[in-house]
């Protein structure tokens, strides 16, 4: 199969599993945004996915993303930043991305807000939560989320739309169901605590666990390998 056929088959499979999960959960397919995670993959693959109907793309490294966005930015495409952002890159991120899903500190939120203001945009963002409290991961802890959320929603240049999490790597995806459920409960709590913000979005679910994430309320799934294939970088899987 050539690349286009492989991508088409992969996308058809992913969309079918999304539809199945939506059905099981008694939800509506329109509630789910598929973000195709194109990190490490060439812009040619992004263009092919676009031709196959994908409109949302996710990247986790600023420099790599800037190159791709510069080469491919139709007006109906949304680029999502999903990786950790060093604050010295906040300016470029605010100027380039349509959504920033990985707001993991108040300082980063303040820097993004300042630069969004300079660019005259109100930047849609999600707060990244480290639900399982893993040392190796960035994201706000459950303990600090309320306090930080209150301060971030007070920044008028940011349009806070919900929460994002990266679940722990496990062999059986059922093991991460409690993580997704916990994120949804946090979202529900924030909706009551800070009702001036919609908190609509729950970005959770990747190649290994997106069906379960949808059953638990995901509105955004971020899928890389199941669409674009395994990532191989200098001989290593990343």
Ligand X SMILES: *Cc1c(COP(=O)(O)O)cnc(C)c1O
Give residues in contact with ligand X (CB under 6 A).
37, 39, 60, 82-83, 166, 206-208, 222-226
Residue 152 beta carbon to ligand X: minimum distance, rounded to whole angstroms: 19
DSSP per-residue codes, the chain: --HHHHHHHHHHHHHHHHHHHHHHTT--GGG-EEEEE-TTS-HHHHHHHHHTT--EEEES-HHHHHHHHHH---TT-EEEE-S---GGGHHHHHHH-SEEEEE-SHHHHHHHHHHHHHHT--EEEEEEB-TT--TT--SB-HHHHHHHHHHHHT-TTEEEEEEE--PPP-SSGGGGHHHHHHHHHHHHHHHHHSTTS---EEE---TTTHHHHHHTT-SEEEESHHHH---EETTEE-
For ligand X, the nearest residue by Cβ is 224
User: For the chain, first and last CA: distance in Å?
Assistant: 24
Nearest to ligand X of 149, 218 (CB atom) = 218
For residue 81, list its beta bridge partners: 59, 100
Nearest to ligand X of 65, 206 (CB atom) = 206
Nearest to ligand X of 82, 93 (CB atom) = 82
Nearest to ligand X of 190, 226 (CB atom) = 226
Residue 44 beta carbon to ligand X: minimum distance, rounded to whole angstroms: 18
Nearest to ligand X of 64, 159 (CB atom) = 64
Residue 194 beta carbon to ligand X: minimum distance, rounded to whole angstroms: 24
Residue 143 beta carbon to ligand X: minimum distance, rounded to whole angstroms: 22
Residue 55 beta carbon to ligand X: minimum distance, rounded to whole angstroms: 17
Nearest to ligand X of 109, 213 (CB atom) = 213
Residue 154 beta carbon to ligand X: minimum distance, rounded to whole angstroms: 26
Both tokens of 116, joined, read 């969004």
């Amino acid at each position: 199969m050539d690349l286009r056929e492989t991508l088409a088959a992969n996308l058809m499979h992913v969309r079918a599993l999304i539809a199945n999960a939506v059905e099981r959960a008694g939800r509506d397919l329109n509630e789910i945004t598929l973000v195709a995670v194109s990190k490490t993959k060439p812009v040619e693959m992004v263009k092919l996915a676009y031709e196959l109907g994908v409109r949302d793309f996710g990247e986790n490294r600023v420099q790599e993303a800037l190159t791709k966005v510069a080469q491919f930015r139709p007006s109906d495409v949304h680029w999502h930043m999903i990786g950790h952002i060093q604050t010295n890159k906040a300016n470029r991120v605010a100027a380039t991305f349509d959504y920033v899903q990985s707001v993991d500190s108040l300082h980063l939120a303040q820097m993004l807000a300042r630069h969004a203001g300079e660019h005259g945009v109100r930047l849609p963002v999600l707060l990244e939560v480290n639900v399982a409290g893993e040392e190796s991961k960035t994201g706000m802890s459950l303990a600090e989320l309320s306090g930080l959320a209150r301060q971030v929603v007070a920044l008028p240049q940011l349009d806070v739309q919900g929460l994002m999490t990266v679940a722990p790597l496990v062999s059986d995806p059922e093991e991460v169901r409690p993580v997704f459920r916990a994120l949804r409960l946090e979202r529900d709590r924030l909706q009551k605590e800070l009702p001036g913000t919609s908190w609509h979005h729950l970005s959770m679910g990747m190649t290994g666990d997106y069906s379960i994430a949808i059953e638990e309320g995901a509105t955004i799934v971020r899928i890389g390998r199941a669409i674009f294939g395994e990532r191989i970088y200098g001989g290593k899987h990343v």
